[in-house]
Amino acid sequence: MFSIRLGFKNLSRQKRRNIITIFVIAFAFFGYLFIESLFNGIEEMSFDNIKNFETGNIQIAHPAYWEEKDDLPLENLIIWNEDLKESLLQTSGVEGISPELRFSANLNNGIDEMGVIGVGIIPEYYNQVFQTQDYFIEGSLSALNENKAIIGARLAELMDLEIDDYIILLVRTKEDTFNTIDVEVGGVVNTLNPMMNTNTVLLPLSTVQQSLNVDDNVTMISLKTTEVPEENIIQSLESTFQGKELAIQAYSWQESAQGVVAFSEMKKGGVGAIMSVVLLIGMVGIINNVILSSLERTSEIGMMKALGMKEWEIVFVFMVEATGIGVLGGLTGCLLGYFGVNWMVNSGMSFKALYGDWLDWSQYGIPIVDRVYGAWNYSTFSYIFFLGVIVAILSSIIPAYWAANKDPVEAIYHR
């Protein structure tokens, strides 16, 4: 007990150095908490943007189509009929369904042409699953009922398109023959999903089916569910499909979001690397502190040995001191982290303000437009705190042992 008291009292020595060490540890902790919150925020926003604008919670597709879905084929499609619709809507946990027919097209405005993804949808169904309706700059989703197209704001900007302008979509039918879809722009959306804004054209499903010559077929059906995670609903759907002998399968949204999932994996690695740097900073700070303290207190260590203290008892005094620095650094870091993360969660950070227009996250498969918000992860606070304290304790052992192992005569008469 006396050694603990002495260790903590030693914290009042070399206040300036201890405060610097505490703040170095605190800023390292703060940096970790802030970046971890930022990464979690990007991940959460990306997942939300994928679910709310691209995939819903579950997608139904033919397995062969699913394998090739990135190439947007028009084979292995699903027949969209009342029976399937009823079956899906009656599945427990399914809140909304939206059939879609995806295809590749070249969009021509009369001057320029660019490749886009066309999506044939039924507005009433689409609204049950996706949030696009809330992000219209001009027009609305009901424009589809007037056989008009909805385009993203970025696409409108790139192709110099406005409401009521005519566009031509050059497509290939199921039989691989050329066809065109001539439509008027009936709405412009600026969603939180950059893919949606840049290269997607929404069209009435019936128009697309007719132009592509695919009858009542759709490429996929997106589902919105009430339950998260979706595994139970997927199992239930699978058994329904088997019962009806339908050659289709249900896929979780994660399976469509490979880019973001890859980002999540990268995030884990990145966060791990940052964690290593943070702990290394803490270690260096503590080791430096213990070495300097022991050099300054050499004759005191000699006196402790003269009093009959054993080496491990002297090591313990230094370890208590290092623990104190680790605890104070950790608490200060967590406090700074709390304010930093709170700011990130509530105010967010504009990447455009930081990097200008050149950084387009969507190029890297991250569906983030501009402002990124942080996310709380309370367990990280306790995790980094306790890990930091443990590292502080462990880091102090070797330099403290080095100090305690000094020859008592040399230590006492050290000047």
Note the residues at the interface with other proteins (CB under 8 A): 1-2, 5-6, 9-10, 12-13, 299-300, 302-303, 305-311, 408-409, 412-413
Least separation in angstroms between CB 322 and other proteins: 16
Q: Which residues, in sequence order, are bridge partners of residue 148? A: 184
* Selection from 4, 23, 123 nearest residue 331 by Cα: 23
Least separation in angstroms between CB 288 and other proteins: 20
How many other C-beta atoms lie within 10 A of the C-beta of residue 297?
A: 21
Least separation in angstroms between CB 286 and other proteins: 19
Least separation in angstroms between CB 320 and other proteins: 13
Q: Which helix (H) or strand (E) holds 319?
A: helix 311-346
Least separation in angstroms between CB 274 and other proteins: 36
Which residue, 2 or 378, is less far from other proteins as judged by CB? 2
β-strand pairing of 349-350 with 249-252 = unpaired
Least separation in angstroms between CB 308 and other proteins: 2
Which residue, 81 or 405, is less far from other proteins as judged by CB? 405
Q: Which helix (H) or strand (E) holds 138?
A: strand 136-139
Least separation in angstroms between CB 269 and other proteins: 44
Which residue, 206 or 299, is less far from other proteins as judged by CB? 299
Asked whether 362 and 45 are in contact (CB, 8 A), the reply is no
β-strand pairing of 148-152 with 178-189 = parallel
Which residue, 12 or 346, is less far from other proteins as judged by CB? 12
Least separation in angstroms between CB 3 and other proteins: 9
Which residue, 284 or 292, is less far from other proteins as judged by CB? 292
Q: Which residues, in sequence order, are bridge partners of residue 120? A: 101, 203
Which residue, 5 or 268, is less far from other proteins as judged by CB? 5
Q: Cis peptide before 73, with omega less than 30 degrees from 0?
A: no
* Selection from 54, 55, 56, 75 nearest residue 64 by Cα: 75
Q: Give the C-alpha separation, 101 to 181, whole Å.
A: 14
Q: What single string gives the DSSP state of each residue in 4-68?
A: HHHHHHGGGSSHHHHHHHHHHHHHHHHHHHHHHHHHHHHHHHHHHHHIIIII-SEEEE-HHHHHH
Which residue, 312 or 339, is less far from other proteins as judged by CB? 312
Which residue, 19 or 271, is less far from other proteins as judged by CB? 19
Helix locations, 205-310, DSSP H: 205-212, 231-243, 258-296, 298-306
What number of residues does the chain have? 415
Sign of CA dihedral 276, 278, 281, 286: negative
DSSP state of 104: E
Which residue, 15 or 379, is less far from other proteins as judged by CB? 15
Long-range Cβ pairs for the range 265-271 (8 Å, 24+): 267/39, 267/40, 267/42, 267/43, 270/35, 270/39, 271/32, 271/35, 271/36, 271/39
Which residue, 269 or 308, is less far from other proteins as judged by CB? 308
Least separation in angstroms between CB 291 and other proteins: 19
Least separation in angstroms between CB 293 and other proteins: 12
